[in-house]
């Protein structure tokens, strides 16, 4: 009988993030180009009890390979916890009690969808557990759960490079040739995502230049050509303006990162800055340079595109 299932899912960077008008449901229409990177979250489901009624998750523990947040994230509100319970509820059979163990390597609340990656990895791990009891769910059910958990979870499930529309959860794969090399710098000056979107709405009332950027044709052509120079020129994030207004210290980081790499942008709603570099050697140099210049910031190197959520081991 299975005792442990191990799965992983990637962090992401938005190569393009265009924010449309606010919708009646409180969300904004988005046009986003997601790019998965090989900085992956790992989720283990350890079987600790026999099948029975009631909740499946007995406990959760996160091991941090990035800075630990101030609050405890190991509880029923965690996306990974919710993902496992969602699969168990749909499976229609009693599943054994499990402990969730997460190895966290993506910045917490850093704009790289680390929590969404945890959820995606937990979904495929829980589905593998359900399969051991003859109750595996189809891919469309996992996508449905992913979208219900968060707008970035479906992409963490899929990986690669993809165009996201709607809330960002309606995905279409994009052709991307070659590898992109990145440095990610987290200055640890949290930016609440909802506040960033609200501020963008306010800024647009007074600054007509902040129109929604919803055309990804130039970026798509650059990715298809595998031309990193053209990709760098096409990077864009509508949320960068509110991020800079909310945290002016980001301006200095963006300037220094842009000088160290080929191009630097705020990742998602921030505060992480993504730095596109020429190659792996350039990325390693830029990471060392930026870590020395911005003492206390978290810095790591990654490349993409990377695959989506996958079960790595069942034992």
Q: What is the average per-residue pLDDT within 260-278? A: 96
Identify the band that residue 208 occupies on the pLDDT scale cut at 50, 70 and 90: confident
Average pLDDT, the chain: 95
Conformation bin of residue 193: beta by default, left when phi > 0, alpha when psi is -120 to 50: alpha
Domains of the chain plus CATH, in order, are: 4-172 (3.30.230.10), 180-304 (3.30.70.890)
For the segment 209-253, what is each residue's pLDDT rounded down to a tens digit?
A: 899 999 999 999 999 999 999 999 999 999 999 999 999 999 999
Instruction: Give the helix/strand (H/E) hosting 61.
Output: strand 57-64
Inter-residue contact 52 to 133 (CB < 8 Å): no
Inter-residue contact 52 to 97 (CB < 8 Å): yes
Q: Residue 174: is its pLDDT beyond 80? A: yes
pLDDT the model gives residue 21? 85
Count CA atoms within 13 Å of residue 288 on its CB side: 5
Q: Residue 24: is its pLDDT beyond 90? A: no
Catalytic residue among 118, 152, 169, 306: 152
Q: Residue 1: is its pLDDT beyond 80? A: no
Query: Can 152 be counted among the known catalytic residues?
Result: yes
């Amino acid at each position: 009988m299975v005792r442990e299932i191990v799965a992983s899912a990637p962090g992401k960077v938005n190569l393009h993030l265009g924010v449309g008008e606010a919708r009646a449901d409180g969300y904004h229409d988005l046009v986003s180009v997601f790019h998965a990177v090989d900085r992956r979250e790992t989720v283990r489901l350890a079987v600790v009890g026999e099948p029975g009624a009631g909740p499946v998750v007995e406990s959760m523990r996160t091991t941090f390979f990035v800075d630990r947040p101030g609050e405890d994230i190991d509880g029923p509100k965690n996306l990974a916890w919710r993902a496992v319970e969602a699969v168990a509820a749909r499976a229609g059979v009693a599943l054994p009690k499990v402990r969730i163990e997460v190895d966290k390597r993506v910045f917490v609340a850093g704009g790289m969808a680390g929590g969404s990656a945890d959820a995606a990895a937990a979904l495929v791990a829980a589905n593998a557990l359900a399969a051991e009891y003859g109750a595996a769910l189809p891919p469309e059910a996992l996508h449905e759960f992913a979208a219900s958990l968060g707008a970035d979870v479906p992409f963490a499930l899929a990986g690669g490079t993809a165009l996201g529309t709607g809330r960002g959860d309606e995905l279409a794969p994009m052709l991307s040739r070659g590898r992109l090399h990145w440095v990610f710098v987290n200055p640890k000056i949290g930016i609440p995502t909802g506040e960033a979107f609200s501020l963008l709405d306010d800024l647009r009332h007074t600054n007509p230049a902040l129109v929604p950027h919803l055309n990804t044709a130039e970026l798509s052509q650059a990715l298809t050509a595998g031309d990193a120079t053209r990709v760098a020129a096409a990077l864009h994030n509508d949320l960068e303006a509110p991020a800079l207004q909310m945290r002016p210290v980001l301006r200095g980081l963006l300037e220094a990162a842009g000088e160290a790499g080929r191009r630097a942008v705020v990742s998602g709603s921030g505060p992480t800055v993504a730095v596109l570099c020429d190659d792996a050697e350039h990325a390693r140099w830029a990471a060392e340079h930026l870590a020395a210049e911005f003492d206390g910031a978290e810095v790591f190197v990654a490349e993409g595109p990377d695959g989506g959520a996958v079960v790595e081991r069942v034992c």
